[in-house]
Amino acid sequence: MADGARTRTGPSRGDAPLTALPAELLDHLRPFLDEITEEVVRTIGVEIPEYARPADETYTHVINRGVAQALEGFLARLSGTGSDGEDVRATYRRIGKGEADEGRSLDSFQAALRIGARVTWRRVCELFEVHRLPPDVLISLGETVFLHLDEMAAATASGYTEARLHAAGELQQRRGRLIDLLTADPAVSPEAVADLARTAQWPLPREIAVAVVDLPEGSGSVRPIVPSEFLARFDGQPGVVIVPDPQGPGRERAVAGALRLNAALGPTVSLDSGARSLRWALDALDLARRGVLPGTGLVRCTDHLATLLLFRDEDLVDALARQYLGPLDAVRPPQRERLAETLLCWLSCARNASEVAQRLAVHPQTVRYRLRQLEEVFGDQLRDPTAQFEMQLVLRSLRLRRPPQE
């Protein structure tokens, strides 16, 4: 180092390499700041075309200001003035947010940072050749250049990530609200749905189906991973999924692959009938929990319409049972259960005693004996077509209610 050269003391946060730099170095670098800024901006515009926007004065100003602040912060770091570089980091966090808002990845901007460091380093090396500064000073300065570059890159990534997370949160909120609109009862206006779908970045389908999912207990439990075109909300129990155009190619496979937990898929409906699909799916999931419907995997409502109908109003079924099966209360169990089973089978087999015996795996004479008992209990009701139909409905419903182990 030249005789009498002054060195900086008291390194700033993360600035250990700067202790070897002479304070006079700033006097060599500062006059070239504007020139270096212009060269960096020009090189970025040439090598990264998407940053070349001569007609956009605001954008050009932001790029020039970002480069100038980076160089000013670099000189402030060299000067040891006590600045912690927060202004520069704040600027680059804002730039990162802007990149996220414009929907770009950080690849181009990281390339622009490297271009800035490369141009700056080349110009600094030229000054070193002119002023013949010692190699150890050049080494320390190089370390500082790349330390400064790393901090700008980290600040940009921080702003970018924060903006993306914020945007994702807002988007998810809009999509959650869209689920509410699509399943509202009564249905909301098509215009309201279309407006919200547009801001939620969700293309409106022609039809939808609503699925409900039994979520595992615990905040750390794994949630289903659904295709991006599905609307999903898993912040409550059960989770709700809107499937667009369920009859489309490959959709059934996509639904089955995503909903591997206990779930129920409502029927395909128009956009203004999502409440009905949700209601049926909730009914089916409840019946699956009770063991009435298959309790594991995906239950499709369209495969169990008769069962859903029977259980739509269980109080009504109970009233039918009292009206048509009340006479069986006088029979002692387990004979009562055997007679009910025989009656249901007889009604289901078009009143063919031989087929009933085969299905129940009993002797035909046993069936005839039980039928005589049923005649004694019900009398003329057994010959009434309306009574036969309603008895069959009630008996089927009661059999479905029995716990699986029975």
Q: Global pTM?
A: 0.59
Helices (H), 183-222: 190-199
What's the rounded mean pLDDT across residues 34-55?
79
Q: What is the pLDDT of residue 362?
A: 92
Average pLDDT of every residue of the chain: 82
269/13: higher pLDDT: 269
For residue 57, give the H/E element and its range: helix 57-79
pLDDT in tens, 227-238: 889 999 988 889
* SS3 label, residue 351: coil
Q: What is the pLDDT of residue 245?
A: 93
| 270 phi/psi in degrees, rounded to 5 | -75, 170
Given a cut of 70, whether residue 317 has pLDDT beyond it is yes
What's the rounded mean pLDDT across residues 240-247?
93
In this structure, is the dihedral angle defined by the CA atoms of residues 79, 80, 83 and 89, taken in order, positive or negative? positive
* SS3 label, residue 231: strand
Neighbours of 351 (CB within 10 A): 13
DSSP label of 10:
S
Q: What is the pLDDT of residue 299?
A: 92
What's the rounded mean pLDDT across residues 94-110?
79
Residue holding tokens 């009701």?
Answer: 381
* SS3 label, residue 314: helix
pLDDT in tens, 160-195: 888 777 766 788 888 999 999 999 999 999 999 999
Which residue, among 127, 129, 152, 9, has the nearest Cα to 71 in the 3D structure? 152
Strands 207-213 and 269-270: antiparallel
Tokens encoding 167: 């945007």
Q: What is the pLDDT of residue 2?
A: 40
Residue 78 pLDDT level (bands cut at 50, 70, 90): low
For residue 176, give the H/E element and its range: helix 135-182
Which residue, among 139, 18, 3, 121, has the nearest Cα to 76 in the 3D structure? 18
Residue 1 pLDDT level (bands cut at 50, 70, 90): very low
> Which residues does 133 contact at the CB level (< 8 Å), separation at least 6?
1, 2, 22, 25
Alpha-carbon distance 76 to 90, whole Å? 15
Alpha-carbon distance 114 to 149, whole Å? 8
Q: What is the pLDDT of residue 9?
A: 39
